[in-house]
C-alpha cells in the first residue's frame, strides 16, 4: 500500500519513520515533509492546505491511505473533502471528520461536549465579542489567576493565564479586538486548575479504541518551566505520577464518556485523540482535546510501540481495531528539542547543520530542517528532536544529551533540565 503523510514536523517524521518499517508499505510520501522525512520516504512539495493538490497526487500515485499529522487540515475538513468526492472516498484518511475536529477547533464546543457527557473539566463560561461588558463583569467576580482562551485555533498561543485582573481585562479586550482573527471573537473564561499536567492518547476506529502510553510535555521555553509557551521543548513517556489506578480512572471517567459522546453524536472519528489533562489531587480533568498526536509527544510515544503503526491504521480505516493488538516496549523514552535561538519569538533560518552518524540507541527526528543542494539547513523554530529509549529515564536522558553534544548548528538552543523535576 502506498501511503501519504500530511505535515512537516517532528511528529510527522516520527510517524513516517515508524510506518516505513511496515511490510505492508509500498511507497511512502510526505507532503511537504522536511529534511529528515526524505530518508524514510519521498517528500512532495504540496502544502497541507492544498486539498486539490493532495487530491491530484493521491489519484496519480495510487495512494491507499492518507495520514494527517497536524490539526489545521482536519479542522478545515480534509476528511470530509475526501468523503464527499466520488473517486477519493475509497481512500481512507486517518483523522476525524470536521465535526470531530471541532473538539480541538473550538474550545467552546469542546467544553460543551464535556458538559453534556459528564467529563471532568474546569468550570467555564463563553462570551462572544458583542458581550464584552458581561465578560468583564464575569471576570471581576472571579479570583486570580484567570484563564482566558481564544475559542479557535491560534497556533498554541490562544491561552493566557493572567495573574492580575488588569492583565485579564487587557487580554480579553485584545482577543475581542481580533488578536487571533475570528478565532478570538469568542473567548472562554475558565476556572484555574492547579496540578500536574500530562497527556493521554487513544487511537480509535469510531467503534473501539486502543490506549497509547501517556506522556509529559515540557511546554515552556526556559529552564524550570519559565519563559513563554512553545509547541513543546521535550517529553517523557511513561509519566511517573500516572500509575495504573490513575490511568484506569482516566479510562473510566474521561476516555469512555468521550467515546460515548462521539457515538451519540454520530461523529465519524478514525484517528488519534489526545487528552490534555491536569491531575488535581487524584482527579484527572481535561484541559483540552487535540484531534491528532502530540508534538513532541509522538517522538516518545510512537518509538515505544512494538507492534506496527501502519497495521494499526489499516485496522482503524476498516474499523477492525478490535482485532489489533497494541504491543509496547517496556522501555522509558525521553526526547529533547533542539530549537533555533530566539524561538518561540524571532529566530534565524538557513544555518548549516552537522549531524553525527546514525546510531541504534538514539533517533533524531527532524522538524524545522530542509535539504538544499545536498546540505542540511535549519528551516524553523523547533529544528529537531533527539529521542532515546532505555531501561530508565536517567539512562535515556544521558543518551539524548550525549548525542546533542554531537549535533551542531549556529544558535542551537535546548533545555538542559528535561526530566529533572521527576
Query: Which residue of 231, 257, 284, 380 would you call a contact of ligand GLY, by CB under 6 A?
Result: 231
Q: For 322, list phi and psi in degrees, rounded to 5.
A: -60, -25
Binding residues for ligand GLY, rule CB under 6 A, total: 7
Strand order from edge to edge, sheet including 28-32: 42-43, 28-32, 2-7, 63-68, 93-94
**Rounded distance, CA 367 to CA 385, Å?**
7
- The burial class, CB within 10 Å (0-12 / 13-18 / 19+), for 2 is middle
CA distances from 141 to 133, 169, 412 (A): 13, 12, 45
**Minimum CB distance to ligand GLY, residue 135 (Å):** 26
Q: What is the DSSP string of 76-131?
A: TTHHHHHHTSTTGGGS-EES--HHHHHHHH-HHHHHHHHHHTT--B--EEEEEGGG
Please report how the helices 10-19 and 309-317 are oriented relative to each other, as an axis angle in degrees rounded to 10: 90
Query: Which residue of 295, 304, 317, 396 would you call a contact of ligand GLY, by CB under 6 A?
Result: 295
For position 151 contacting ligand GLY by CB under 6 A, the verdict is no
CA distance between the termini of the chain: 42
**Minimum CB distance to ligand GLY, residue 295 (Å):** 5
Closer to ligand AMP by CB, 183 or 377: give it.
Answer: 183
Query: Which residue of 22, 38, 186, 290 would you call a contact of ligand GLY, by CB under 6 A?
Result: 290
User: Which among ligand AMP, ligand GLY, none contacts residue 267 (Cβ within 5 to 8 A by kind)?
Assistant: none
**Minimum CB distance to ligand GLY, residue 148 (Å):** 18
Is 243 in contact with 110 (CB distance < 8 Å)? Answer: no
Helices and strands in the chain, H and E counts: 13, 22
Residues 6+ away with beta carbon under 8 Å from 360: none
At residue 123's C-alpha, the angle toward residues 166 and 131, to 5°, is 55
Closer to ligand GLY by CB, 74 or 88: give it.
Answer: 74
**Minimum CB distance to ligand AMP, residue 373 (Å):** 38
For position 152 contacting ligand GLY by CB under 6 A, the verdict is no
Q: Which residues of the shown chain bind ligand AMP in the complex (CB under 6 A)?
A: 122, 147, 156, 159, 161, 190, 192-193, 197, 219, 276, 287-288
CA distances from 83 to 61, 91, 289 (A): 19, 9, 24
User: Which among ligand AMP, ligand GLY, none contacts residue 197 (Cβ within 5 to 8 A by kind)?
Assistant: ligand AMP
User: Which among ligand GLY, ligand AMP, none contacts residue 193 (Cβ within 5 to 8 A by kind)?
Assistant: ligand AMP
**Minimum CB distance to ligand AMP, residue 62 (Å):** 38
Query: Which residue of 12, 151, 190, 297 would you call a contact of ligand GLY, by CB under 6 A?
Result: 297
User: Which among ligand AMP, ligand GLY, none contacts residue 147 (Cβ within 5 to 8 A by kind)?
Assistant: ligand AMP
Closer to ligand GLY by CB, 162 or 298: give it.
Answer: 298
For position 271 contacting ligand GLY by CB under 6 A, the verdict is no
**Minimum CB distance to ligand GLY, residue 208 (Å):** 24
**Minimum CB distance to ligand GLY, residue 217 (Å):** 5
Closer to ligand AMP by CB, 16 or 301: give it.
Answer: 301
Query: Which residue of 35, 64, 105, 294 would you call a contact of ligand GLY, by CB under 6 A?
Result: 294
Residue 143: how many CB atoms within 10 A of its CB? 7
**Minimum CB distance to ligand AMP, residue 219 (Å):** 5
**Minimum CB distance to ligand AMP, residue 163 (Å):** 12
User: Which among ligand GLY, ligand AMP, none contacts residue 297 (Cβ within 5 to 8 A by kind)?
Assistant: ligand GLY
For position 232 contacting ligand GLY by CB under 6 A, the verdict is yes
**Rounded distance, CA 271 to CA 112, Å?**
22
C-alpha cell, 257: 464518556
Cβ burial 356-366 (10 Å sphere, 16+ → b, else e):
eeeeeebbbbb
| 291: three-class secondary structure by DSSP | coil
Which residues in this chain contact ligand GLY in the complex, by CB under 6 A? 217, 231-232, 290, 294-295, 297
Amino acid at each position: 500500500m502506498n501511503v501519504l503523510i500530511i505535515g512537516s514536523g517532528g511528529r510527522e517524521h516520527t510517524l513516517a519513520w515508524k510506518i516505513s518499517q511496515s511490510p505492508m508499505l509500498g511507497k511512502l510520501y510526505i507532503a511537504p515533509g522536511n529534511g529528515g522525512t526524505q530518508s524514510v520516504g519521498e517528500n512532495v512539495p504540496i502544502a497541507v492546505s492544498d486539498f486539490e493538490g493532495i487530491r491530484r497526487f493521491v489519484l496519480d500515485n495510487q495512494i491507499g491511505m492518507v495520514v494527517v499529522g497536524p490539526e489545521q487540515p482536519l479542522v478545515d475538513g480534509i476528511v470530509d473533502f475526501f468523503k464527499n468526492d466520488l473517486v477519493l472516498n475509497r481512500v481512507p484518511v486517518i483523522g476525524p471528520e470536521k465535526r470531530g475536529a471541532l473538539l480541538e477547533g473550538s474550545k467552546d464546543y469542546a467544553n460543551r461536549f464535556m458538559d453534556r457527557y459528564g467529563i471532568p473539566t474546569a468550570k467555564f463560561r463563553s462570551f462572544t465579542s458583542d458581550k464584552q461588558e458581561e465578560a468583564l463583569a464575569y471576570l471581576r467576580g472571579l479570583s486570580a489567576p484567570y484563564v482566558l482562551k481564544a475559542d479557535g485555533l491560534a497556533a498554541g498561543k490562544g491561552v493566557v493565564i493572567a495573574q492580575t485582573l488588569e492583565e485579564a481585562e487587557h487580554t480579553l479586550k485584545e482577543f475581542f479586538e481580533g488578536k487571533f482573527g475570528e478565532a478570538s471573537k469568542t473567548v472562554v473564561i475558565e476556572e484555574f486548575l492547579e496540578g500536574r499536567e500530562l497527556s493521554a492518547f487513544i487511537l480509535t476506529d469510531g467503534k473501539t479504541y486502543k490506549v497509547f502510553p501517556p506522556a509529559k510535555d515540557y511546554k515552556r521555553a526556559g529552564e524550570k518551566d519559565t519563559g513563554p509557551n512553545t509547541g513543546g521543548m521535550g517529553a517523557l513517556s511513561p509519566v511517573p505520577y500516572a500509575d495504573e489506578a490513575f490511568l484506569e480512572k482516566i479510562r473510566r471517567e474521561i476516555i469512555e464518556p468521550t467515546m460515548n459522546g462521539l457515538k451519540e453524536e454520530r461523529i465519524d472519528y478514525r484517528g488519534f485523540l489526545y487528552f490534555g489533562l491536569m491531575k488535581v489531587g487524584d482527579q484527572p480533568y481535561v484541559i483540552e482535546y487535540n484531534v491528532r498526536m502530540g508534538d513532541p509527544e509522538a517522538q516518545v510515544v510512537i518509538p515505544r510501540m512494538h507492534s506496527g503503526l501502519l497495521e494499526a491504521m489499516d485496522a482503524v480505516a476498516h474499523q477492525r481495531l478490535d482485532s489489533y493488538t497494541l504491543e509496547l516496549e517496556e522501555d522509558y523514552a525521553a526526547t529533547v528539542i533542539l530549537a533555533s535561538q530566539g524561538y518561540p519569538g524571532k529566530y534565524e533560518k538557513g544555518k548549516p547543520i552537522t549531524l553525527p552518524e546514525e546510531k541504534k540507541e538514539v533517533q533524531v527526528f527532524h522538524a524545522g530542517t530542509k535539504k538544499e543542494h545536498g546540505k542540511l539547513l535549519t528551516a524553523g523554530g523547533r529544528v529537531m528532536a533527539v529521542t532515546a529509549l532505555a531501561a530508565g529515564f536517567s539512562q535515556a536522558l544521558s543518551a539524548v544529551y550525549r548525542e546533542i553534544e554531537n549535533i551542531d548548528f549556529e544558535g542551537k538552543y535546548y533545555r538542559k533540565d528535561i526530566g529533572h523535576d521527576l
